[in-house]
Amino acid sequence: MTNILIIAEHNGSELNPSTGKCATCATAIGGTIDILVLGNNVSGIADQAAQIQGISKVHLTEAAHLEAPLAVNWAAEILTIADGYSHILGPSTTLGRDLMPRLAALLGVNQVSDIMAVNNSHGFKRPIYAGNAIIDVTSPDGAIVVATVRTASWPDTAQGGSASIEARNATATPATHTKFIGLESGGGDRPDLQTAKIVISGGRALGSAENFDLIYALADKIGAGVGASRAAVDAGYVANDMQVGQTGKIISPDLYMAFGISGAIQHITGIKDAGTIVAINKDADAPIFELADIGLTGDLFSIIPEMIDLLD
């Protein structure tokens, strides 16, 4: 029998849409679907998870040492509830990439990464070679499947569910060699990159961290998240948590605008699932124009101020 457990991602007050996307993947696998909410004072998160359609039960485990999403503590706690589940799914986000490999190691299985399609209960499709090829991967029959779900490949599950919520005590011992110090985000109050409907990114052509203020100003005008190419991150213009691409964040906004980004394959991997891609680059032969739905050849230092004026 297929019993699936989804690990909820949240920020302490709101459920991340990646959880609903995991539920869509779980529905494609088929079977009973439960969600585990870990944290502290997060009963409201459990209420939100219970509203996802197709969910049978929400497990709620609250404890002080689970408040911060430390993989060392969360994985140990998940292990205490893993018995009886054939699949444990987490999102292929920063959280999931940290948490799920540790859980797979504790369970003694190989992790399946970036599920983008389901063949059967133990067979999946995932991208390789920066998304240039798709392969079929199969987990052994009878082995528990620990996997991350490529959130850019799955829509969010509809609301309207009414799953039961079951509180359970934390039983795993808190880690003593690791502690949570704090959380800082380079994006400030702007939408999270992996959930934003609109994302504006800048590349090495910006020339400096100060010039990135142009990107921030435009993003703030339209309520967009802000990203960057690896070249911009390596140059020190922005923090690495803003990097979009194969070694950064894989995103699927409705609108993606790239300023001064040439379009290396590693970057394209992170944006190919976006709804509409707009590219602005002074190099008319930049590879990103081959993928873009709308392309404009021009100087971003002239175009962005003009866009801001028009928005005003």
Distance between CA atoms of 17 and 23, rounded to whole angstroms? 10
Find the helix or strand (DSSP H, E) in which 84 lies: none
pTM equals 0.85
The domains of the chain are located at 3-168, 198-311
Local confidence pLDDT in tens for the 312 residues of the chain: 899 999 999 999 999 999 999 999 999 999 999 999 999 999 999 999 999 999 999 999 999 999 999 999 999 999 999 999 999 999 999 899 999 999 999 999 999 999 999 999 999 999 988 778 899 999 998 899 999 999 989 998 888 989 999 999 999 999 999 988 887 765 567 888 888 999 999 999 999 999 999 999 999 999 999 999 999 999 999 999 899 998 888 899 999 999 999 999 889 989 988 999 999 999 999 999 999 999 999 999 999 999 999 998
- Give me the half-sphere count of Cα atoms (radius 13 Å) on the Cβ side of residue 153: 23
**What pLDDT was estimated at residue 238?**
94
Can you give 87-103 as a three-state secondary structure string?
Answer: EEEEECCHHHHHHHHHH
User: One-letter amino acid identity for 132?
Assistant: N
Q: Please name the residues in contact with 39: beta carbons below 8 A apart, sequence gap of 6 or more.
A: 10, 12, 45, 62, 66, 67, 69
**What pLDDT was estimated at residue 187?**
54
Homologous superfamily in CATH for domain 198-311:
TPP-binding domain (3.40.50.1220)
Task: Out of 3.90.1150.10, 3.40.50.2300, 3.30.750.24, 3.40.50.620, select the CATH number for domain 3-168.
Answer: 3.40.50.620
Distance between CA atoms of 300 and 203, rounded to whole angstroms? 11
**Taking Cα atoms as reference points, which of 310, 190, 212, 193 lies closest to residue 261?**
212
